[in-house]
């Protein structure tokens, strides 16, 4: 299906484990973003990417790693998960010259 | 830095009531302003936008006017429906970046 998809939709992991959240978009949008959503904080930008092989830090990048080898994929890795990383994670994309962002359905991550 | 402040919720209204959700912003340049809506269990989707002062964005009966003099972008709807129950996010994008700064969200509950 066309659009932006995230997997898994739900994930429970233990402290210290590595976990990767996947994001795939079919529009060939240049820009992709990762946000986390927490009560009282709204959405906070973790990392973003302007194109394949170009990534940059957002507001809260510590503890996360991203890569973008292909335009359509933008995985987010928690190298050693902590309880403070329990959150809902949203991936988004946008075209060049447009501020409208298109969001995926989110991944609810629980770190125990 | 850029910031967005919106009224805390939740806001509970009866069906057909008038809705106002306040939003003010701080930005160094001339930002574009947005309202996004998040329905339960879904990602955010763009509701409306305005790109310059005095512009009015509108969609699905919702309206917001870009007021540079008061740095505000309040969301209004004349008659809400139960299906409007969602979380509403005010946001801005500034300085030519593709990045968007979001407010903390306001939950709206409409009761029959």
Positions in chain B whose pLDDT score sits under 70: 95-97
Residue B96: CB atoms within 10 Å = 9
Q: Confidence band (pLDDT; 50, 70, 90) for A65? A: very high
B105 with A104: Cβ contact below 8 A: no
Q: What is the pLDDT of residue A106?
A: 95
The tokens of B22 are what? 């306040």
Report the alpha-carbon distance of residue A20 to residue A51 in Å, rounded: 20
Residue A56: CB atoms within 10 Å = 12
Q: What is the pLDDT of residue A102?
A: 92
Q: Are A92 and A76 in contact (CB under 8 A)?
A: no
A99 with B42: Cβ contact below 8 A: no
**Chain B residues within 8 A of A40 when measuring between CB atoms:** 104
């Amino acid at each position: 299906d066309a659009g932006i998809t995230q997997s898994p939709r739900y994930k429970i992991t233990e402290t210290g484990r590595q976990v990767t959240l996947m994001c795939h978009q079919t529009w060939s949008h240049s820009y992709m973003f990762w946000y986390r959503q927490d009560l009282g904080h709204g959405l906070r930008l973790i990392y973003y990417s302007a194109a394949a092989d170009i990534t940059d830090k957002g507001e809260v990048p510590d503890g996360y790693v991203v890569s973008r080898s292909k335009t359509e994929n933008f995985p987010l890795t928690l190298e050693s998960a902590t309880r403070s990383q329990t959150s809902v994670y949203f991936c988004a994309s946008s075209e060049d010259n447009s501020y409208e962002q298109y969001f995926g359905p989110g991944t609810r991550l629980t770190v125990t | 830095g850029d910031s967005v402040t919106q009224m805390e919720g939740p806001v509970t209204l009866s069906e057909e009531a008038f809705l106002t959700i306040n939003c003010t912003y701080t930005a160094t340049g001339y930002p574009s302003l947005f309202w996004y809506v998040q329905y339960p269990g879904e990602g955010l989707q763009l509701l409306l936008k305005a790109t310059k002062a005095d512009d009015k964005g509108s969609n699905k009966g919702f309206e917001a006017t870009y007021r540079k003099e008061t740095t505000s972008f309040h969301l209004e709807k004349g008659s809400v429906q139960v299906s409007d129950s969602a979380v509403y996010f005010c946001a801005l994008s500034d300085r030519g970046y593709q990045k968007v700064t979001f407010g903390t969200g306001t939950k709206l509950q409409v009761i029959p």
